Amino acid sequence: MEALAALGLASNVVSFVDFSWKLLTGANAIYASGSGVADDVQFLDSIIRDAQRHGNVSDLGRVIRELQMTHERLGVATKNEVSSLKQDIQEVLENLADKNTTTQMKQYFQQHQSQELSPVVITELSDQMRSLAYAMDKLETKGMEAGSNQQLLKKLHFSSISTRERKIEKAYEGTFQWLVNSNDQMNRKRSCLDFITWLRDGDGVCWLHGKPGSGKSTFMKFAFAQKTVQDHFEHWSKDDQLVTASFYFWYAGSRLQKSLEGLLRTLLFEILRHIPEVIPSIASDPKLAVPVTYDEDWDLETPFLMYEFILLRLEKVKFCFFIDGLDEFQDEEHQKRQGLDQRPASARNIRQDKADLTRNDIHAYVSGRFTSHEQFSRLRELDSNYEDLISEVVDRAQGVFLLVRLVVQTLLEGFTFHDSVPTLRRRLTSFPGDLDEFFYHIITNIPAAYRRQAAKILKVATEAEQPRLLVFYQILDEIIQGENLKS
């Protein structure tokens, strides 16, 4: 930040030079110094050299680039202002620091030492000085403010803040069209209409639930990213500023990915990066005990006080939060206190695994995967009964996308082996009817010789507070095998 501090000093000096020019305007003349060069021209030349030495353009550019990069990583809304100011400052500094420009100015003054200086020339120089001083002062203020804002945002941020969202696969092409296509027939279904109505004109909570593996997380990620959904939000917020944020609880993730602290810090981070103008007030309030270091745990009272602080000071702002995976919330003490595992009585209730919401999407997925398999297309030409397998898979899915993926994978394998339709149907019917049965099938099919070893590894995995690296389980497996050899 030294370059930004130098800007403040340079701004004051430039303002002083401008004051000198105004004195010259009143006198309407320049008197040559003993060296034959106007004193103020020498002074200006020294200012340029000083600016180059203490706050030079390249160093200033580096500092601003660092601010910009951090702003971009954090997604702060003011990054364009800093970039624009940087450009203005660099243009003026580079013009003033240009050797040809400086030489021309000296030559002009030397040739006109005893002549009156044109008021027009003085005014132009004065305007340029004032512009430079103003730009430098504003950039210093913005730079310091941006750096200060980043400190709080960095403390709210944590390394796994978006890990779960990134790991959720994108929705398969052609699915969830009822949400983004007003002409889609699914829009006439009651569940679809309820959700869209809530987006545009509702309030309170919309509770989306369904069987495990029914695609709730995929839908949440898809919906939050859609422009159509943002348009619905804009209609809902009307003239108020809109702030949206999302959080994805994850049982298999780190402590902050499945705790109340992680939820609160993520939502606060999203709010403040969209409305950074309230950060200085929060940072200066002694009641809000922000952690000193970036990796320090937060006292949960502080985030709640921050929310209250924000709501009391912001007018004409509306918030909409997408929170996924409440059943994976593991902070039991706070879960009971906050009631996060209970659906509010007033909430809109939409089941994600209902047939009217998922059947078309599952059909689009199965049909797309089958028809993209070259062997399926050939087999279908020989026997039209292969086409019927699409509907049979959809019927068996019972709204569970994850089960469909597993079934489709085994049937694609059958196409590769030129399986007949009866053989493929046996593959389909032998597959467990739901995920519980499927996982039971996996565990019971572990060979007896490996079950004790598998049980130990599964116990370690389920009791770990955060995900372990794969190499950890490799070493654990070697240790267990060594114990087995000793016994």
Q: What is the pLDDT of residues 380-402, one digit of tens each?
A: 988 989 999 999 999 888 888 88
Q: What is the pLDDT of residue 340?
A: 56
The whole-number average pLDDT for the span 417-438 is 88
The Cα–Cα gap between 40 and 29 comes to 12
What DSSP letter does each residue of 268-306 carry, written as one string?
HHHHHHHSGGGHHHHHH-TTS---SSTTPPPPTHHHHHH
What does each C-alpha distance from 420 to 70, 217, 367 come to in angstroms? 58, 36, 18
pLDDT at 54: 42
Structure-derived torsion over alpha carbons of residues 33, 36, 41, 44, reported in degrees to the nearest 10: -80
pLDDT at 424 over 80: yes
3 state DSSP class of 124:
helix
Per-residue pLDDT, 220:
92
- What does the alpha-carbon distance between residue 10 and residue 51 come to, in Å, rounded to a whole number? 7
Q: Which helix (H) or strand (E) holds 320?
A: strand 317-324
Given this model, what pLDDT does residue 64 score? 55
Q: How far apart are CA 272 and CA 103, in angstroms?
A: 49
| 68: pLDDT strictly greater than 90 | no
Domain boundaries, the chain: 2-151, 163-351, 355-438, 446-486
Interhelix angle for 57-74 vs 79-97, to 10°? 170
With 90 as the cut, is the pLDDT of residue 419 above it? Answer: yes
Residue 171 above 80 pLDDT?
yes
C-alpha 114/C-alpha 144 separation (Å) is 45
Average pLDDT over every residue of 419-446? 86
Whether 374 and 296 have beta carbons less than 8 Å apart is answered as no
Check residues 360 and 14 and name the one with the higher pLDDT. Answer: 360
Out of 198-212, 259-273, 416-430, least confident range: 198-212
Please tell me the predicted confidence (pLDDT) of residue 412.
94
271 pLDDT exceeds 70? Answer: yes
**What pLDDT is recorded for position 137?**
66
> Which amino acid belongs to residue 481?
Q
Could you give phi then psi for residue 176, rounded to 5 degrees?
60, 30
* pLDDT value of position 140: 61
Residue 477 banded pLDDT, cuts 50, 70, 90 = confident
The mean pLDDT value of the chain amounts to 75
pLDDT at residue 97 tops 90: no
Amino acid at the residue 345: A
Q: Is a pLDDT exceeding 80 seen at residue 404?
A: yes
Region for residue 205 given its phi and psi (left: phi exceeds 0; alpha: psi -120 to 50; beta: otherwise): beta
Q: Give 120-152 pLDDT, tens digit per residue.
A: 655 666 666 666 666 666 666 666 666 677 788
Q: So what's the pLDDT on residue 141?
A: 65
Residue linked to tokens 């050939």:
378
Quote the CA–CA distance of 41 and 32 in Å, as a whole number: 10
Flag the least confident range among 105-119, 308-322, 441-455: 105-119
Inform me whether the pLDDT recorded for 462 exceeds 60.
yes
Amino acid of residue 313: R
Give the max Cα distance, the chain: 108
Long-range contacts formed by 195-198: CB under 8 A, 24+ apart = 195/348, 195/350, 196/232, 198/348
Percent of the chain having pLDDT more than 70?
A: 61
- Find the helix packing angle between 57-74 and 2-27, rounded to 10°: 130
The alpha carbon torsion through 389, 391, 395, 400 (nearest 10 deg) reads: 90
Specify the pTM: 0.69
d(CA 117, CA 30) in angstroms, rounded, equals: 7
